[in-house]
Amino acid sequence: MNMIKIENTIDVVDNIMDWIKHTTDVDLLKKPFISVTSERVADAGGVFLHVIQKFWDQIKDYKFGDCGNTKRIKTGNDRGLGEWAIQHELQEANLLSSTNNKMDIAQFIAKFEIEDSRISQLNDLKKGFDVFKIVEIIKMNIFDITWNDFKKKLYKVVISESDLLEQFDTKMNIKRIEGKVMRETCYLVFFDYLRSLKIPLDRKNVLRFICGRISIPLPDHQKIQIKWKNSGSKEQQLLRIPHAKTCMRTIWLSDNYEENEIEIFRQDLKIALEQSINNGFCD
């Protein structure tokens, strides 16, 4: 199996670059699997988002030098080229006869893999940039654009209280209270807790717990949802502890508390948001 092993999320880029340096030409032309081998996780979707976040955080400062063995596409009886052609239902003989040198073949493969085969992904990438109006900025200021301009847009993370609170779908979350007194009380306690956080790291950890990432802003259709479960009791504390589903950007709160148990809810909230972060996949 063609696999890139990520030992931990501290060295994501180093692990990927190490794979590039030592892999074969054949494997380089395939689509590798990525395996995270040493992280303790409770939510697979969350750790995938976390790895992606770490990748972009690290790649912007990575020092690209010699990537080890120079990757090459050779004419003639090259097993890598033949397998690549078969994989994409192309004829190797036609590919070789249509060009005079191996650089043309490399350019053909690059165009096929990056442009022809991934045109929809490239369009999605453009749409992603357009969320922050980056494309228009580049068109208007092509000679003035700097790396810092990109970082301000692409690497914005939760820092302030408003940064965190603005990621919640307030309209839908209030609607789900449905006039129930205990839900309203727990809802207010939850946001009191969020406002009590004093440092950016704590706010980032809350967003990471719910969404698996700390980058903002979340698109309107991906704002954080607060949903309710009626489970657990004083004797079944674990069933009442809030939990999150990162792939749905949702936190589930229990409304099965009595009026005199609000302090218990507050403690359950701290257990979920602090203990889970400290013992889960987050760093």
More confidently predicted of 189 and 4? 189
Q: Which amino acid is at 243?
A: H
Higher pLDDT, 221 or 68: 221
Ranges 119-123, 131-135, 193-197, 272-276: which has the least confidence? 131-135
Considering only CA atoms, which of 211, 222, 227 is closest in space to residue 173? Answer: 227
By mean pLDDT, which of 48-57, 175-184, 208-217 is the weakest?
Answer: 48-57
Average pLDDT over residues 216-227: 88
Q: Give domain status of residue 52, yes or no.
A: no
Confidence at residue 189, expressed as pLDDT on a 0 to 100 scale: 95
Is 30's pLDDT higher than 60?
yes
pLDDT for 76: 43
Nearest residue to 176 via CA among 214, 216, 230, 238: 230
pLDDT of residue 55: 79
- Any domain includes 29: no
Q: Is the pTM of this model over 0.85?
A: no
Residue 257, domain member (yes or no) = yes
How confident is the model at residue 62, as a pLDDT?
A: 74
- Please report the pLDDT score of residue 225 as a whole number: 96
**Mean pLDDT to the nearest integer, 85-95:** 63
Q: What is the CATH number of the domain that holds 216?
A: 3.30.2410.10
Quick one: pLDDT at residue 74?
44
Q: Tell me what pLDDT residue 163 has.
A: 92
pLDDT above 60 (res 79): no
Residues spanned by the domain of 169: 161-279
The answer to whether position 200 is within a domain reads: yes
Whose structure tokens read 């589903």?
245
At residue 217, the pLDDT reads 81
Q: Note whether 84 and 112 are within 8 A (CB).
A: no
Q: Inform me whether the pLDDT recorded for 263 exceeds 90.
A: yes
What is the number of domains present in the chain? 1
Q: How confident is the model at residue 226 (pLDDT cuts 50, 70, 90)?
A: very high
Of residues 231 and 271, the one with the higher pLDDT is 271
In three state form, how does the secondary structure of the chain look?
CCEEEECCCCCHHHHHHHHHHHCCHHHHCCCCEEEECCCCCCCHHHHHHHHHHHHHHHHCCCCCCCCCCCCCCCCCCCHHHHHHHHHCCCCHHHHHHCCCCHHHHHHHHHHHHHHHCCHHHHHHHHHHHHCCCHHHHHHHCCCCCCHHHHHHHHCCECCCHHHHHCCECHHHHHHCCCCCHHHHHHHHHHHHHHHHCCCHHHHHHHHHHHHCCCECCCCHHHCEEEEEECCCCCCCHHHHCCEEEHHHCEEEEECCCCHHHHHHHHHHHHHHHHHHHHHCCCC
Average per-residue pLDDT in the chain? 75
One-letter amino acid at 230 equals: N
Q: Does some domain include residue 95?
A: no
